[in-house]
Amino acid sequence: MTSSVVGTEAKQLRGVPGDSVVAAHRSRVADARCLVAAPVEPARIPVPPVHAWTPVSPCGSGCVEVPTGAGLIRRAARVLGIAGLLAAFPVVNLLTPSKRRAGLQRRCARWLLRCCGIRVRVIDRRGAAEGAPSGSGLLVVAGHIGWADVLALATVSPMGFVARADLVAWPVLGRVARLMRVIPIERERLRQLPEVIAATSARLAAGERVGVFPEGTTWCGRAHGRFRPALFQAAVDTATPVQPIRLRYLSAGGELSTVPAFVGAEGFLDSARRVLRAEGVVAELVLLPVEGPGTDRRDLVRRCEQALRGDDEMRIDEHATALGTGPTREIVAAARYPARRAEPAPDRSVAPISSD
């Protein structure tokens, strides 16, 4: 092989003066050495421009379990059930007396989740006198795991939500968002925040329920982010109590499930297909004692975080090993935390946040 290379090189250099031949050969050898020694640039993960205030979660595809339960026929039946409910609900809601609409809306949210293969378990840990009376405003706060969170909270009480602005354009869930009168927020536009707080305050003052996810982005359920205090200002300004709800998803065996997590660069349709393939997922909602608004939003955040998280501290660097940097970094391995078992069996006499 070496002789053929030398022969080829000799033919290419035939007729060239001796010194020039040597110089050309040395140049080629030097170029070859440079190519061998040159470090290979690793593939860079594209990172969109992110503002310092934008909430970021390290969770990604490595955090999410891949279910294999439901077959094709069952998945098709679930899709048909979802389509039927979304088509029928607006008409049935209009024909239902106003005093019974709250109950209808809660049942519809539960049916939609059931069509997605998710059952709902509600556990009431509020005091006997803490149920919010009908017609009074209430700010509902919970951790954010995925798009099913909105439906899960709606099974407890009809409410509007502060949610990402592009949600109304999503397939299927966009229709649900419009029916729930979502307050849109663009997280990258800090100047819009006062408008969102004002809109939330107006609804609370009018006696409506509004659900918010103070982490500002989704986490897989095995880890969580810090609460951002901005939206709590609406409760302080309107002297509205706050209802913390601990939300988590469990497998059929009572272990934490990340199947409903909507994290990383995954699209809604991919996430929906994964959820439809799952079996035995349970959305567990624990209604914790209501927190008074107080006069300091940061103190209110601290109290709500303590109620929801307790002493549970999750370290991001122990949660996952990441490649790349920024919010789009790919999670390649997620830590398996000791799974928490399911809460005790729920009290079947649990009353909803608002009466029918």
User: What's the rounded Cα separation, in Å, for the pair 242 and 289?
Assistant: 9
For residues 96 and 86, the answer to whether their CB atoms sit within 8 Å is no
| Rounded (5°) CA angle 176-181-185 | 100
The average pLDDT across 151-177 equals: 84
290-317 pLDDT per residue, tens: 999 999 999 999 999 999 987 665 545 4
User: What's the rounded Cα separation, in Å, for the pair 107 and 343?
Assistant: 23
**For residue 249, what are the β-bridge partners?**
283
User: What's the rounded Cα separation, in Å, for the pair 232 and 234?
Assistant: 5
Give residue 296's pLDDT.
Answer: 95
Which are the contacts of 247, defined by CB distance < 8 A and separation ≥ 6?
142, 143, 145, 149, 152, 153, 283, 284, 285, 286
Give residue 180's pLDDT.
Answer: 80
Handedness of CA 239, 240, 243, 244 (dihedral sign): negative
For residues 67 and 249, the answer to whether their CB atoms sit within 8 Å is no
The average pLDDT across 1-24 equals: 48
What are the DSSP calls for 68-108, one per residue? Answer: --S-HHHHHHHHHHHHHHHHHHHHHHHHS-GGGHHHHHHHH
Give residue 309's pLDDT.
Answer: 86
Whether 203 has a pLDDT exceeding 70, the answer reads yes
Q: Which residue in this structure is represented by tokens 């939206």?
A: 231
| Rounded (5°) CA angle 185-161-129 | 140
User: What's the rounded Cα separation, in Å, for the pair 204 and 189?
Assistant: 23
Which are the contacts of 236, defined by CB distance < 8 A and separation ≥ 6?
293, 294, 295, 296, 297, 300
| Rounded (5°) CA angle 267-110-219 | 40
Where is average pLDDT lowest: 31-45, 69-83, 132-146, 228-242?
Answer: 31-45
Where is average pLDDT lowest: 76-85, 122-131, 270-279, 340-349?
Answer: 340-349
Kindly state the tokens that stand for 199: 């809109």
Domain 67-309 adopts which CATH fold?
A: Glycerol-3-phosphate (1)-acyltransferase (3.40.1130)
CA-closest candidate to residue 245, choices 153, 183, 163: 153
Give residue 123's pLDDT.
Answer: 94
The average pLDDT across 21-49 equals: 44
CA-closest candidate to residue 230, choices 55, 50, 56, 59: 55
| Greater model confidence, 31 or 195 | 195
Residue 41: Cβ-neighbour burial (10 angstroms; 0-12, 13-18, 19+): exposed
| Greater model confidence, 330 or 288 | 288
- When pLDDT is cut at 50, 70 and 90, the band that residue 130 belongs to is low
Whether 325 has a pLDDT exceeding 50, the answer reads no
Give residue 22's pLDDT.
Answer: 45
Give residue 168's pLDDT.
Answer: 75
- When pLDDT is cut at 50, 70 and 90, the band that residue 277 belongs to is very high
- Distance spanning both ends of the chain, measured CA to CA: 87
- When pLDDT is cut at 50, 70 and 90, the band that residue 23 belongs to is low
Give residue 50's pLDDT.
Answer: 52
Kindly state the tokens that stand for 341: 């078992």
Whether 239 has a pLDDT exceeding 60, the answer reads yes
132-154 pLDDT per residue, tens: 555 689 999 999 999 999 999 99
Give residue 132's pLDDT.
Answer: 58
**Position 121: which residue type?**
R
Evaluate if pTM is beyond 0.75.
no
Which are the contacts of 47, defined by CB distance < 8 A and separation ≥ 6?
324, 325, 326, 327, 328
Percent of the chain at pLDDT exceeding 70: 70
The average pLDDT across 321-332 equals: 36
Q: What is the mean pLDDT of the chain?
A: 77
Going from N- to C-terminal start, the domains of the chain cover 67-309
Rounding to the nearest 10 degrees, give the CA dihedral for residues 286, 292, 293, 299: -80
Question: What element of type H or E holds 140?
Answer: strand 138-141
SS3 297: helix
